[in-house]
């Protein structure tokens, strides 16, 4: 058996499990941010930034080994899951999560380019990966990974615009509405299953590469605690008056009543209001001329 290859901390079984769970929680993150004054998505953003900064330093110092083959593929998954953290209920939060998410997407792409240009070159004849059978990295396969990287970079342009747009649109559409806070609990399971069905190939490919190349990594405790903060901030119900903003509606008696917005009503608020159909005037009997 080949000797174990120790890479940068943060890719231990625990760290990888939390990374997969964080991606699966993205739909619940989106639901938690709708119409909320609480910065429930800040923990999600902080976890993603910390993870990518660690990966960037690892790529620059050539500490990723065969994990450098995974960076572009992870970015395709992040293009969707990162959008779960851009919803908010006010413009201040929209600026933070919108541009913060766009920034971490750009950093992801930089990590992938550094990995492709440095770490992968050092892995010719060494790094192994699965592609209809086990393959060994070579200049030919390196060009194939370049194609994936180019597609990832092109998709980045649209993803950045999309992230900022969604952040401001959700803030504008839900500024006077508050989603019933326990809806996020339903999205933990339903949304998590949907994301898992989408990302399981990259999870399987990651675990195969780690096992085949005998990669070993220590646990990054900071990433673990940031994940805990992310989950607590997402699942905790609004606990302060400024956070528990409610939709203001008027009852027939003209008194102001606080109530939470139903999910279907909140979703409909994203659609542009359609002008009311003009009613055809009733037929007016013709008046005979004298």
pLDDT at residue 232, rounded to an integer: 87
Instruction: Give the chain's mean pLDDT.
Output: 80
This prediction has a pTM of 0.78
Q: Where are the domains of the chain?
A: 5-235
Q: 3-state class of 250 per DSSP?
A: strand
Measure the CA angle with vertex 252, ends 249 and 256; round to 5°.
35
- Spatial CA neighbour of 97 closest among 48, 52, 53: 48
Task: Find out whether 160 and 242 touch, Cβ atoms under 8 Å.
Answer: no
Cα-atom radius of gyration of the chain, to the nearest Å? 24
> If you average pLDDT over residues 7-34, what whole number do you get?
89
- Phi then psi for 135, rounded to 5 degrees? -120, 155
Region 4-31: mean pLDDT is 90
- pLDDT: which is higher, 120 or 272: 120
Return the number of other C-beta atoms located less than 10 Å from residue 249's C-beta.
12
**Tokens for 151?**
């597609």
Q: Closest Cα partner for 91 from 194, 39, 168?
A: 168
Task: Identify the band that residue 210 occupies on the pLDDT scale cut at 50, 70 and 90.
Answer: very high
Say if residues 153 and 109 touch (Cβ distance below 8 Å): yes
Of residues 35 and 30, the one with the higher pLDDT is: 30
**Confidence tier at 88 by pLDDT (50, 70, 90):** confident
As a dihedral over the C-alpha atoms of residue 60, residue 230, residue 158, residue 20, rounded to 10 degrees, the angle is: 70
Q: Torsion angle of alpha carbons 138, 139, 140, 146, nearest 10°?
A: 110
Q: What is the pLDDT of residue 238?
A: 61
More confident residue, 40 or 110: 110
Tens-digit pLDDT profile for residues 169-207: 888 887 666 566 667 778 888 888 999 998 899 999 999
Window from 33-42, 81-90, 106-115, 136-145 with minimum mean pLDDT: 33-42
Q: Identify whether the C-beta of residue 24 lies closer than 8 Å to the C-beta of residue 84.
A: no
pLDDT for 258: 41
């Amino acid at each position: 058996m080949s000797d174990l290859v120790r890479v940068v901390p943060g890719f231990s079984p625990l760290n990888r499990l939390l990374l997969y769970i964080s991606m699966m929680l993205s739909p619940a993150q989106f639901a938690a941010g709708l119409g909320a004054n609480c910065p429930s998505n800040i923990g999600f953003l902080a976890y993603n930034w910390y993870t990518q900064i660690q990966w960037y330093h690892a790529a620059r110092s050539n500490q990723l080994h065969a994990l450098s083959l995974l960076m572009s593929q992870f970015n395709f998954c992040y293009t969707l899951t990162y959008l779960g953290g851009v919803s908010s209920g006010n413009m201040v939060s929209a600026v933070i999560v919108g541009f913060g998410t766009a920034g971490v997407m750009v950093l992801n792409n930089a990590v992938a380019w550094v990995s492709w240009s440095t770490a992968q070159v050092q892995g010719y004849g060494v790094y192994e990966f699965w592609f209809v059978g086990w393959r060994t990295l070579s200049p030919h396969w390196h060009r194939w990974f370049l194609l994936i990287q180019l597609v990832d970079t092109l998709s980045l342009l649209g993803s950045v615009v999309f992230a900022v747009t969604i952040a401001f649109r959700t803030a504008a559409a839900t500024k006077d509405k508050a989603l019933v806070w326990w809806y996020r609990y339903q999205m933990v399971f339903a949304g998590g299953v949907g994301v898992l069905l989408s990302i399981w190939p990259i999870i399987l490919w990651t675990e195969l590469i780690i096992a085949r190349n005998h990669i070993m990594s220590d646990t990054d405790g900071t990433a673990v605690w940031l994940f805990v903060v992310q989950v607590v901030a997402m699942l905790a119900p609004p606990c302060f008056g400024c956070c528990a903003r409610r939709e203001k509606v008027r009852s027939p008696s003209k008194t102001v009543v606080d109530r939470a917005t139903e999910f279907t009503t909140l979703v409909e608020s994203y659609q542009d209001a359609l002008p009311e159909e003009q009613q055809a005037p009733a037929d007016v009997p013709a008046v005979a001329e004298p």
